[in-house]
Structure 1
């Protein structure tokens, strides 16, 4: 007769080892040999049994603990079964205390692995944080000691699970557009606002991952205004993003939320003194990394990471410092698809909702390897159930979105000059205005044209103005930084883009810069022979080179480039008719997709002032519109100084 230890060995490790060699262990039929199965129910203790209650007496979802705090612990309520029989707590205790493989239970001998019983009893009173509980009930399972266990929710946790897993079906009332917003949100933007409000009001955060051009910025500005309207002391909003987008944020806030205080926390004189509720504070990833301690000292209502793919490496200094800045809720914005790269997805969602996806190592083994290997469909389903509520991704091509988009959108994108550009710009203005004041007639007109050309070139890139032979291109121009930012998103979307400039030298600099970044380009200019033009057009239309650099004059007519979903005017041709003609290379008959036009404008410079005039189409603009830049040579010295003087817009 075998000893207890031998029976236990045969029930556990030995039977597994024998099974691996193709041998099976058979037990006498009269012994109810059973596997112990566990199932967990989780929810607030006072609501465990409220399933049959009516709506009265139930706590609302809004009373759920903040999910960014780990203070409120929830207990699993376990139920165990042996075969098809549910065990009471007492029976589980008796089995565990017997410590033997053969036990008498309910007038029957049962055969059970004592190790399994001990393990079950040990996990019985485990407590978890709300975020761990939410993660378990969204996927319907949890792992305990390497084993998968089914989990169900009760009480407000179940209502919360239902609400975020299927927001459409559990929408109490959709959020209306905030009265203070100076824009009309499209339907899908209102749905995005509703989703963001729902998540941030619970402290859960989320990632808005809509395609570029769908209006993530205006949706976020609407969220800020909505929070001010519905929450007492909603607090200020901190936006962290790339340097090249700071000007854009400020202008969009001034345009869509007029009167909302906005400041830049950037540059030598940056300050957080007197930050008030309802204020926007804009900073860059670089400044945030240097000054995280000061930023962390402010009580933020909302912290936003724009172009959140910049923190996709969780081990980078930028990502680590961003984690130190607390807020009542966090929102990530990105137009770059992240749903297919699981480690990047982990990095972004673990920032918006810390702890949701567990530790990176565990996440990789539990999901990434299983999903990326494609051999565990159930793992992919569980991951989707866990991630879907926290990631809102809409594409321009989605059936519900496409009809809402205008065929062409035009955006002026403001960038600040680098310190090098600022120094050059101010020196050229100072020296040339002094020369102009002593000149007249033909000589004066020539000097004015020379000044305007020099300033446009400095706004583009110092190397263009300085005519450098072997220039370093990166980190010297706000426009090049912004172009890189735009191209990263455009190329990640699989889209194509036309980039127009007036200057062959600037196009050559971009060609060199993009080649160094591994981006395929081609360049068409006035000297390109006819056969070469045709070959380039065919290559672009076939999607072989997604970035097409064009000199504005050469590309003005006779080209059909409907492959392009984006057009970038790197510098402005101060005659809108010429610019529109270039844009229409992409936006014309045969075009089946919406076209986005991006005009790059250096903040605070002559470009900015001319752009303002063109937008207003008044006064001086009429002369400019008709006659181009030559009209500007007739300005008085005072008018010219006012036009070219640098105002703000520097770093």
Structure 2
């Protein structure tokens, strides 16, 4: 079901044309980005239950996502509850080892703070001066947000010519050194291939063996890297979040490090589950490196809202909803 949540895609339209006596879907994240995804899943398994998308948005999505309307949430939950069988991993895999999640707050150096603030103020000035339609302005805001997120990871990702060191890379170096000393293996996720390249250079200088996978990795080479890591070749596996965040079995690792927070916690959780899954025999520790007092901190705050939205609707049987242009602009406008 993960593949047809978006009602606007050709794949989704093709799914709706399938004929059969019964329909059943399986997904670990029925609500990932916004409630419109839930509507589309139910459009397939129980057409008409949630009405038209326009009516669904008016009765449920808008009140719940924008106003935290508890009555609307209760009514929606009661509608979908008879058609959902929810099983948590902790319920069906009782032998699974414990899972510990740790958020590591990384403090930037004075040089990094100056660079970040300069980029943020320039972004605010540029956006304030722009007189675009909402759609065009949204694209510009997203571009500025992306630039700030890259700056949080490493100054060279926004200004390759600078010689400012990265506090986040230093924090990563300390974690990896300790893990290697104690013979642990780690999966390292980042959304930015450029960030992974910087980490690769660091691992090379430290002579730390690793495997690597991103969206450009051919299928055959991908399988070779996975098999090698599972067989003990490499202390670290560097993985692009979107390319390797699901569908992989990497239980040779007992540590997971998220180098930068993604908008949606469900995506990170799925990536962490590459290690914390059936076949794992050791406790799994998950580190999230978050640059303090930056846009990364604000993204992590959004995570909790998304988790609550999903849990509140699914109990007993994510940016929370679609963000407006003003919501996105506010992520940049104010210093933390």
The TM-score normalised by the length of structure 2 is 0.64
Query: For the Cα contact (< 8 Å) 1:409–1:595, is it kept in 2?
Result: yes
CA shift digits 1:551-570 (9 cap, x unpaired): 00110222110011100000
Change (3 A) 1:638 1:587: closer
Match in the other structure for 1:534? 223
Given candidates 261, 268, 286, the residue that maps to 1:572 is 261
Distance in 2 between residues matched to 1:557 and 1:442, nearest whole Å:
31
Which of the numbers 519, 539, 550 marks the counterpart of 2:239? 550
Once residues 328 and 221 of structure 2 are traced to their aligned partners in structure 1, the CA distance between those partners, rounded to angstroms, is: 46
SS of structure 1 residue aligned to 2:285: strand
| Cα shift at 1:534 | 1.1
Query: How much does 1:633 deviate?
Result: 3.1
- Work out the number of aligned pairs and report it: 234
Secondary structure of the corresponding residue to residue 538 of structure 1? helix
Q: Which has the higher contact order (CA 8 A, sep 6+)?
A: 2
1:438 equivalent among 129, 145, 155? 129
8 Å CA contact retained: 2:261, 2:299: no
Cα gap change, 1:545 to 1:638, in 2 (>3 Å): closer
The residue aligned with 1:409 is 100
Rounded Cα–Cα distance in structure 2 between residues aligned with 1:536 and 1:461: 26
Q: Which residue of 2 aligns with 1:611?
A: 300
CA distance in 1, matches of 2:328, 2:265: 24
Could you tell me how far apart the structure 2 residues matched to 1:504 and 1:467 are? 15
The answer to whether residue 155 in structure 2 is matched with residue 455 in structure 1 is: no
CA contact (8 A) 2:190 2:240 kept: yes
Shift of 1:466: 1.7
Q: Distance in 2 between matches of 1:423 and 1:438?
A: 23
In structure 2, the partner of 1:229 is none
What secondary structure sits across from 2:278 in the alignment?
coil
Aligned partner of 2:110 among 406, 414, 419 = 419
Contact 2:191 2:260 (C-alpha < 8 Å) held by counterparts: yes
Residue number in structure 2 paired with 1:624: 319
Helix, strand or coil at the partner of 1:635? helix
Q: Which residue of 2 aligns with 1:635?
A: 327
Q: Residue 575 of structure 1 contacts residue 626 of structure 1 at CA under 8 Å; is this kept in 2?
A: no
**Which residue is 1:498 aligned to?**
187
CA distance in 2, matches of 1:609, 1:406: 31
User: Any idea what SS the aligned residue of 1:531 has?
Assistant: helix
If you compute each CA radius of gyration, which structure gives the higher value, 1 or 2? Answer: 1
C-alpha deviation, 1:436, in angstroms: 1.0
Q: Could you tell me which of 582, 586, 594 is aligned with 2:271? A: 582
For residues 521 and 464 of structure 1, what CA distance do their matches in structure 2 show?
22
Rate the CA distance shift 1:582–1:466 in 2: closer, same or farther, 3 A. Answer: same
Looking at structure 1, the residues matched to 302 and 123 of structure 2 have their Cα atoms a distance apart, in angstroms, of 23
Gaps of 5+ in 2: 1-95, 313-317
* Higher strand proportion (structure 1 or 2): 1
What does residue range 51-70 of structure 1 map to in structure 2 within 5 Å? none
Q: TM-score, normalised by structure 1?
A: 0.34
Over residues 462-487 of structure 1, what are the superposed CA-to-partner deviations in whole Å (9 max), with x where a residue is unaligned?
A: 1112245xx86xx7111111111110
Runs of 5+ unmatched residues, structure 1: 1-404
Distance 1:480 1:637, change over 3 A: closer
2:242 aligned counterpart, secondary structure: coil
Cross-structure match for 1:105: none
Question: Counterpart of 1:519 in 2: which secondary structure?
Answer: coil
* Alpha-carbon shift at residue 632 of structure 1 (Å): 5.5
Q: Which of 267, 281, 302 lines up with 1:592 in the alignment?
A: 281
